[in-house]
Structure 1
């Protein structure tokens, strides 16, 4: 076999420790697949004493020395965050070391810069583990489907929020109750902001859109709403329409006055239960791809956790190690399309709007007038309750999101409307 491929591992938490275990336990199989032994050169951690299961000779607190080690061929990064990680990885790539990363926030913000550094150093940059854990989705987009024209990528890419919404649907619990259960089970962090406010999903959406549409997309380009405002009443309303509520990352190729653009958004939606994504429960992830020639494709599996994420990291490690043995480079990032990002306000959507109204003559006509004034067509209307408890539930046809938002603001100011109880976007076929 060839000279060993030496690996520097940055971080040794839940994912990193699993990577160490798998590399050591499966050393013979991995060597056979790669064509050379894989050897861990060092593991950079803050507190070596917290890692008793790792050979102390491998542990170091000197990240710079590990990255600059001339015998290191591949750097695996599972620390997370932007700085100082970005600087470390840029230096590694420019010096010719290939990088495997699970860092979605960094790739969503500086992916193009990292790819440029990889190109200048003749190295590889792989990051399958950054989106949807063990699910192979990034390489299918960048390699398997590179001869096709992708129209849309839509997915559940955050396991914590999917668990919360699934529990609300199954048990009728409130958001707070479902979040508490997710925390107790270890699905939610002590500070769940990145998950429940949609930041995590937005980073992943940016990565997916950039690969699918061959255009630069960063997290700030992604319209984002979280799930903290989803109520048990919203979930019940969705159930009445044979829908469920999911936090979706939606990336689509669109046309603006004949010119192509990209719409990228993350927000909760009411989704018909017949849709393939509607049945994805618990903390699982799934990504639904619509391609021109291949048609609809579904990728499903565990989207988080030490073992699933480590599986994706090892898949990337084998790929870059094979390239090192063959003195070759992997897929080059394609940004030839350079499509602009369409603002959310111009993106056609549908709304489910629940209004607390006075139960008297003229209310429905007044509400309908506000929708018509903004060129928003109503699909269905139903009334729930009578007298002081009356509510109107309206589902619209497709209209620009800004027109729907303007309508809702007008309704909030209307004398006929006591309260806009909830507003939820609707995906899938017309209800």
Structure 2
């Protein structure tokens, strides 16, 4: 089995490598190719990757290359984890929207749109090159904004599934609070990428006992603290929102916080410099503890599980993924991309039935779905008016004066990445 990671020079990659090494019985990788145009980073990450495999006794071969076509040739699955523009572009995404009093964040609001515009054309080009060399390869997208990117891939006819680590993070945290094994926890996970709610926590599988009320009653303070939301909000909702919902439920408070502290991009950039220095140490043969602060917790487990299921070798039968709606949420178009529990196998992902959705959540999901459709149109076809329409449709913007200003700033800050600008 050959797997290729595009964006293999990312500081995330050792987390992925560690998962491949530990879970080799689930996903027996014979050749792992790390592709990245940044040769210096790739050399450091590739060296550590080989040492991790060697330490854990993994027999697989790790190849590093800057040649995308060679790297994806013959791959059974291609994982996408790239960041167009790097942390410098993320720093901009998190900064200029604040000037209008709008949240600055890399996956939602104006910053999220900027990332989508930079990313979608690049991902589609990669996917076309994968299809030319191996049309049967699965594409697993971990590149944000996952929902929009996955929809672009699916609409272009690619064999693609989107992946996020939010659900597996909740699964692990809830299992620890409940004192059970992670595989015993099944989430009723509903919404869009980075706009989801856990409406049930079941023990043993989709039909198991729903212990969410007990979880909130006994551990609500811990869950609320983790989400940085007041406990009474959780009690009133009776569900567990993704921590990204804080950008919606406490928008103005978040904006003030973002204005008064260093950006997450600056923190991550400093962390990456330290991590890359560590990766260059020939004595290091395991992922460093600092990597846990970088983000992407449990990404490796989720990626291994998904790849194994898609390639027919194992993996959990039910997984939270991003895929076409196909009537699962009846208030959305069939071709919307949703994030829900799905049955995953060699033919792809089929969403499990979802209980009727409370209008409190359905309204926001429908609103953001409309924004995502307009965002994809802007990413595919360009043009100032399409950017403006997407920004005006976003529930965190919504005022024409803000949309006008943010449109101009988005284009100015991203001109080098926008072929039409």
More helix as a share of residues: 2
Q: Which has more strand, going by share of residues?
A: 1
Q: TM-score scaled to structure 2, two decimals?
A: 0.36
Query: Could you tell me the TM-score, scaled by structure 1's length?
Result: 0.35
